[in-house]
Amino acid sequence: MKGSDLSNLVVEYVLTRKLDELAVLTVESSANHLNINRSHLSRTFKREKGFTIEEFIFKIKIGRAATLLRENDQITVKEIAKKMGFCRCDYFIRIFKLYFGTTPAKYRELIKRNPDIY
């Protein structure tokens, strides 16, 4: 299998995970699903895409977290962190802020005031 095919399979696998599957989504689980060596998969993906599978998974989790923040104001930031598989809420907040430049709570406030901002 060509590297780009393998990388695209990873992307497809990650993007098609349901919300409840994100909490346990890892490089290891992706490699197991594709029945391929984790190290080979990681190297190939990094070479083809220019970023790691871990970074890609984080990006997807944070994007889905932002969607939850926009669509459901009844769910707490702590609950969202747990749904995304983060053991500690403060770590989730830190990662979210790296991607969006603001905390999840402030993001939610911004969205309420201006739904077209993001």
- Six token digits for residue 73: 């104001």
What's residue 2's pLDDT?
64
Domains of the chain, CATH where assigned: 3-113 (1.10.10.60)
Mean pLDDT of all residues in 81-99 = 95
Q: Rounded CA gap, 74 and 15, in Å?
A: 25
Give yes or no for residue 3 having a pLDDT over 60. no
CB of 105 within 8 A of CB of 89?
no
What's residue 114's pLDDT?
85
DSSP 47: H
Count of Cβ atoms closer than 10 Å to residue 44 Cβ: 21
Q: Would the pTM of this model clear 0.75, i.e. be above it?
A: yes
Identity of residue 81: A
Report residue 16: phi and psi, to 5°.
-95, 5
Give yes or no for residue 47 having a pLDDT over 90. yes
